[in-house]
């Protein structure tokens, strides 16, 4: 009698386990990305770098403008002055291109680092909490509807930041 009861209980558990939906949730990618502390830290560094390079370019620009004004005002343009102007203009354009390239590389490297951290922490969260799927929604139609109870954005923001700080 007892054995039958346990067998029935086991069967019911297995049946319910098989029928239950896989655990899923969704996260607002944009909010998660923007509220991630590593992203904020790297963004600060990127802006600082950008400011520094802008200052550098501005100082060349000032020199260039001064030379251009001198050249405009002089009736007979000395060939050395024209050559100097062209040299500085060339230097400015080269530096500007190099800076643009460096900024792009830095931005890509930082974005890659942020996503590397985020993907690792999300995978760890999913494994720890036995999620089958964590979907990423950004309001662009990739998730058309989900009830708010499946929105894990705030929880995940806390989780990834703790992980980043080394607390988790």
- Residues that bind another protein in the complex, under the rule CB under 8 A: 38, 41-42, 110, 112-114, 116-117, 120, 164-167
Q: Give the C-alpha separation, 52 to 6, whole Å.
A: 73
Cβ 110 vs Cβ 31: under 8 Å: no
CB of 97 vs another protein, minimal distance in Å: 24
Angle at 151 between CA 146 and CA 154, to 5 degrees: 160
Nearer CB in complex with another protein: 102/116: 116
CB of 144 vs another protein, minimal distance in Å: 33
Cβ atoms within 10 Å of 122's Cβ, excluding its own:
21
CB of 162 vs another protein, minimal distance in Å: 9
Nearer CB in complex with another protein: 65/162: 162
Q: Give the C-alpha separation, 41 to 37, whole Å.
A: 6
Copy the structure tokens of residue 156.
């995940």
Nearer CB in complex with another protein: 150/161: 161
Nearer CB in complex with another protein: 124/151: 124
What SS3 state is found at 166?
coil
How many residues are given for the chain?
A: 168
CB of 71 vs another protein, minimal distance in Å: 44
């Amino acid at each position: 009698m007892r054995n039958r009861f346990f067998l029935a209980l086991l069967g019911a558990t297995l049946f319910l386990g098989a029928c239950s939906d896989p655990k899923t949730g969704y996260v607002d990618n944009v909010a998660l990305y923007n509220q991630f502390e590593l992203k904020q830290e790297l963004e600060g560094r990127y802006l600082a770098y950008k400011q520094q390079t802008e200052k550098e370019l501005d100082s060349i620009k000032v020199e260039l403008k001064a030379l251009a004004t001198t050249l405009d005002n002089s009736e007979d343009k000395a060939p050395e002055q024209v050559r100097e102007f062209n040299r500085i203009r060339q230097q400015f354009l080269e530096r500007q291109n190099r800076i643009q390239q460096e900024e792009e590389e830095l931005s890509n490297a930082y974005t890659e680092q942020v996503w590397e951290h985020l993907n690792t922490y999300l995978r760890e969260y999913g494994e720890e909490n036995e999620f089958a799927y964590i979907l990423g929604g950004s309001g662009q139609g990739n998730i058309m509807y989900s009830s708010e109870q499946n929105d894990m954005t705030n929880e995940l923001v806390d989780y990834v930041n703790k992980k980043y700080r080394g607390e988790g």
